[in-house]
Structure 1
């Protein structure tokens, strides 16, 4: 992957990705790297759920891009709702062909009832919304409450381009800025940079604001976000 193409991709270590989506690091590694474990006389293998944006970037350590990160948020939500990785992987593979995208989970057309992942569609003849079980390709006329899985995601067409984490006013992850690390939008400074300065200054927000020549409210926003991640 060319260096210039990384500028709009976002770069996250697996540990950083796990922290940002509030998942277990070993779970994220399993999803993105697969695993091999002893089973009886042999070994059981599990392949990664998909090929990441940065798989061919030549990094020594595994890393993911912004679109991977957004998909991982959905994987975490689905697994927490009781959907097995086997079903998630099969659904991704089927939906990839159906929706013609390598990142189908953040296509805004998926729902879950805790057992299956569905693709929503509008019937052009009636205007009604139907639910399609992507794996079985069957229409499901069951009411499913949409979880707020897509809150804060901004799209360019059907592609996730930016994410404003819920309950984090003024904070965004934009792969075109600071390699996708969380930033205070109006200040353009990474939240972790401001938080480390805040700790170094004895938790004096005004001192940090003077140091970076920004409004103290931006420091406060970064501190709230980083402390929420660490909670």
Structure 2
């Protein structure tokens, strides 16, 4: 397998790019994927091992991750924002990886139809004692997971993940691991970055860019705003 073919159908991202797509602080995401060394004042303690790791081997300072890793990062980021500890998230990570399965041959991902319920019940029940509290927490977790994996992800008839829309406000922008190596695109497959660059180059004329690439003017504007949102803060 050559260096290019290993990325076909699986998507490939530098971890800082994946972090911005998943709305996770890049420094935090890098530690999740690569681990990190203890500071000098913690000498004698072992370095932190990666919490998530990557399905791709990379010796670069900014490791490479796959589309599956990206969705996993999104999952963990949502639960961290909801206030769940890492030990609790890691306890249920095997369940998440079971319902989010990846074919070895093609790299395609499928999410079990009842995966939302399985994960919500498992996480909600963990450590919750009172029945009322369990019911309340389970409802919250079901709602959280449904927003993440039912609204953001598009599925084929046979259950495979076809695309991910990482921002609800940009409905035209999607990520398909089988196209453009998983880079954000606008239908019929134009990279969002190219649309954003051309919009600037042509003085903000969205209609002209739209005609050039056979897309909607709104899609051009969304692509530009999406790319702007992904840039690191100055």
Measured against the shorter chain, the TM-score band is 0.7 to 0.9
Runs of 5+ unmatched residues, structure 1: 112-117, 121-130
Alignment of 1:1-231 (within 5 A): 2=2, 3-38=4-39, 40-55=42-57, 61-93=62-94, 95=95, 101=101, 109-110=115-116, 119-120=119-120, 131-133=121-123, 142-143=134-135, 144=138, 145=140, 146-147=143-144, 148-150=147-149, 151-155=151-155, 160-165=161-166, 166-186=168-188, 188-230=189-231
Counterpart secondary structure, 2:73? helix
Deviation at 1:210, TM superposition (A): 4.1
SS of corresponding position for 1:223: helix
RMSD: 3.5
Q: What's the offset of the Cα at 1:171?
A: 1.7
Number of residue pairs aligned between Structure 1 and Structure 2: 211
Cα distance in 2 for partners of 1:17, 1:32 equals 11
Q: For the residues of structure 2 that align with 1:60 and 1:132, how far apart are their CA atoms?
A: 36
CA gap of 1:5–1:214, structure 2 versus 1, over 3 A, is: same
Structure 2 unaligned blocks of 5 or more = 104-108
For residue 12 of structure 1, report the CA deviation from its aligned partner.
0.8
Whether the aligned pair in 2 keeps the contact of 1:9 and 1:179 (CA below 8 Å) is yes
Provide Cα deviations, 1:75-109, integer angstroms capped at 9, x if missing partner: 1111111222232223224x2786595799x7663
Shift of 1:41: 3.9
CA contact (8 A) 1:173 1:181 kept: yes
Does the aligned pair in 1 maintain the 2:36–2:47 contact within 8 Å? yes
Q: What is the TM-score normalised by the length of structure 2?
A: 0.73
Provide the secondary structure at the position in 1 that maps to 2:37.
Answer: strand
Cα distance change of structure 1 residues 54 and 161 upon mapping to structure 2, 3 Å threshold = farther
Tell me how far apart the structure 2 counterparts of residues 152 and 52 of structure 1 sit (CA, whole Å).
22
* Paired residues of 1:9 and 1:175 also in contact (CA < 8 A): yes
Q: How far has the Cα of 1:136 moved from its partner?
A: 6.0
| Deviation larger for 33-42 or 135-144 | 135-144
